[in-house]
Amino acid sequence: MPTVVSFAEIAPGSLPPGFAPGLTGGGGPVAWQIVADDSVPSRRVLAQTSADRTDTRFPICIYERASARDIDVAVWFKPVSGRFDQAAGIIVRVTDANNYYVVRANALEDNVRLYHVIRGRRSEFAGADAKVRSGAWQTLRLRAEGNRFQVHFKDKLLFEASDSRLSGPGRIGLWTKADSVTHFDQFSYVILRA
């Protein structure tokens, strides 16, 4: 059974326990916080609300209570706004703000891409086109097992890939880009191998 991280009882304006904000790249400070959202049953979501337009700015929010090499992570996300980007992502095998895997969905580009980030440099190694709707809740899921990755979007397998650049255990978390204001809910994970 997945472990689900609930935001329902967290006061708006605060950061949920166990989460640590961070930044890959440049630009201004990140702004992760609980906000009200009546479109979900809990009426509370975790959001990245800063609209800094710096292209090389990747706000991350690391969940420090789970660490594993092999893990299956899922989240509901809703792109709210962003002129340059409307992106939402999941990060796994996070050792720090500059080293991790990220799968991200982008509502302005209508695609889902998988990257490794090594020493702060993001490199795509797989992806697929898919309709990502702005203002709508969608699901994104990343399963990392050994050097194999499965990406699910809207509860369907979208693509598979392999990469061995980051093979050790690490934390998990959430990711956005540039001026993306994005809401997240139903963040869950299953540890396959610590």
Q: What are the boundaries of each domain within the chain?
A: 3-193
pLDDT of residue 194: 87
Q: Which residues contact 101 (CB under 8 A, 6 or more apart)?
A: 91, 92, 93, 114, 115, 116, 117, 142, 144, 149, 163, 166
Q: Which amino acid is at 116?
A: H
Produce one character per residue of 129-154: b if its CB has 16 or more CB atoms within 10 Å, e if not: ebebeeeebbebbbbbeeeebbbbbe
- Angstrom distance (rounded) from CA 100 to CA 61: 12
Fold annotation for 3-193: Jelly Rolls (2.60.120)
DSSP letter for 11, please: P
pLDDT tens digit sequence for 74-89: 999 999 999 999 999 9
Query: In the structure, what pLDDT confidence band is assigned to residue 8 with cuts at 50, 70 and 90?
Result: very high
pTM over 0.95: yes
Identify any residues that bridge with 160 across adjacent strands, giving them in sequence order.
150
Give the separation between CA 83 and CA 49, rounded to whole angstroms.
13
Question: The dihedral of CA 114, 135, 19, 42: what is its sign?
Answer: negative
* Of residues 39, 10, 40, the one with CA closest to residue 186: 40
Instruction: Please give the structure tokens belonging to residue 41.
Output: 């049953």
pLDDT at 6 over 90: yes
